[in-house]
Amino acid sequence: MATLKYISGFGNECASEDPRCPNALPEGQNNPQVCPYNLYAEQLSGSAFTCPRSTNKRSWLYRILPSVSHKPFESIDQGHVTHNWDEVDPDPNQLRWKPFEIPKASQKKTDFVSGLHTLCGAGDIRSNNGLAIHIFLCNTSMVNRCFYNSDGDFLIVPQKGKLLIYTEFGKMLVQPNEICVIQRGMRFSIDVFEETRGYILEVYGVHFELPDLGPIGANGLANPRDFLIPVAWYEDRQVPGGYTVINKYQGKLFAAKQDTSPFNVVAWHGNYTPYKYNLENFMVINAVAFDHADPSIFTVLTAKSLRPGVAIADFVIFPPRWGVADKTFRPPYYHRNCMSEFMGLIKGHYEAKQGGFLPGGGSLHSTMTPHGPDADCFEKASKAKLEPERIADGTMAFMFESSLSMAVTKWGLKTSNSLDENYYKCWEPLKSHFTPHSRNPAGPN
C-alpha cells in the first residue's frame, strides 16, 4: 500500500487538488459558470450559513458528477442500528461487557455498515441533541457501497484491525491507537484486512472541538498540528449494476443506487473535512505533587452542549505516563458522577481493573452509579511504596463521557451475549479498614 499524504492542522482552511488534474480549483471564486476540467461545484455545509466565523463549517467540492445523481432512497434492514432508547427497562447497575465477538468471514461476510451495533445512547435525533455509542464488528470490506450519516458525526476508534477509509476528500489509513472523525454528511467506504472491531461515538447536531486549555496555556493535550486531513483523490469509475449509497437518517437506514463511484472529487477547499489523530501524540498533563487529577485533564476532543463547561460528549484517554504524586492513592478514586461514563480498552490492561476489563470490551457507569478500583487494586495501591513509576505502558484505555443519562439497547443487554453478569463481584471483597481509635494509622511510607 502506497504511503498516504495528509494536510496537518485541526479545523484549518485547507485546499487540495488531485495531482492528476493540476489547477482544478477555481481561482478567486467558489462557483464559476464553468469549473476547470468541466467539473461540478458542490458545497457541503456542516453549520448554518449564519453561524459566526469561528464556528462556521463548510467545504467546496469539485467533482465529476454531483452527489444528487442517484435513484430514490428506500428503507433497508436496520440490523442492530437503533435510536430507540426505550427497548428495554433502564438498568442503573454497573455494566461491563466482555470483548464483543467478531463474526467469522467463513460463516457470514459482514462489512462495516452491516456490522454496526448500537450499544447505548440518549437524546433525540430530530432535535439535534444527543449521542449514541456503537460497536462495529466486521470481516470484509465495503464493495461498491458507501455510507453517510445525516444525523451526526462519527468518532471512530479501531481496536482490532486497520481501516482504509475512502472519503470524498481523499483516503485515510486509521490503525488501532489512532482515531478518526467522519463529520455529518460525508460519504465514506471502509476496507478491512482481517477480522476487525472498534467503537464509535456519535454526536447529534454538534461537532467535536479541541477542549479549551484555560490556565494550562497555549500548548498541551491534543495539539492542533497533530490532526491529519486527507488530500484530494478521485476515481472516475462506472459501476455496472449500480453503486449503493447508504444513508442513516433519523436513526433509520436507507439505500439508493447510482451508476458511478461517489469518490469523484477532483479538488476541494474549506474547513469541513474528515480527520485522524494518533493517540500517541497526546501531551499528558498530570499531578506532580499530590492527589489524583480529574480525568477531564485527559480530554482529546469535546462536543459541547449549550451549558458552559458541560459536554454532550467528551472523548478522554488514559495514556502511558509517569505517576509521581506523593502521599496519594494513585489509581482513579471512588466516584459517583452526574455524567455517564462508557469506557473501552484498545490494548493492554486498565490500571484500576487488571482483570475482567479486556481489549474489545467495555463498561458503562451510569449517572450517579458508584464505581472505582476493584478490591485487589485498592489493597495494592494502599500499601505500595510511592516512588516515581510508569503507568499504563503498553495500554490505551479511553472514555466516552456524557452529560446525558444513557439507555442501553436490547442488543447491549441481551442479544450481544457479551454482558458480564459477575462484574459487581469485583467490589465484593472490599472490607472495612476503619480504626476508630487511631486517626493516623501507620502507612507504607
Binding-site residues, please?
335, 341, 350, 371
C-alpha cell at 225: 498540528
Q: Which residues are part of a known binding site for Fe cation?
A: 335, 341, 371
CB atoms within 10 A of CB 36: 17
User: In a 3-state reduction of DSSP, which class is residue 318?
Assistant: strand
The distance from CA 347 to its chain's CA centroid, rounded to whole angstroms, is 16
* Residue in 322, 314, 311, 274 with CA at minimum distance from that of residue 298: 314
Residues 6+ apart with CB under 8 A from 218: none
Sign of the alpha-carbon dihedral angle for 401, 404, 405, 408: negative
Phi, psi of 216, rounded to the nearest 5 degrees: -60, -35
Cα–Cα–Cα angle for 85, 135, 82, rounded to 5 degrees: 30
How many whole angstroms separate alpha carbon 357 and alpha carbon 97?
Answer: 8
User: In a 3-state reduction of DSSP, which class is residue 42?
Assistant: strand
Query: Annotated active-site positions, please?
Result: 292
Phi, psi of 171, rounded to the nearest 5 degrees: -110, 145
* Residue in 93, 128, 129, 50 with CA at minimum distance from that of residue 310: 129
User: In a 3-state reduction of DSSP, which class is residue 411?
Assistant: helix
Q: Indicate the length of the chain as a whole number.
A: 445
Residue with cell 485546499: 15
Q: Which residues are part of a known binding site for homogentisate?
A: 350, 371
C-alpha cell at 138: 466486521
C-alpha cell at 77: 434492514
Residue with cell 498533563: 285
* Residue in 298, 271, 276, 255 with CA at minimum distance from that of residue 392: 298
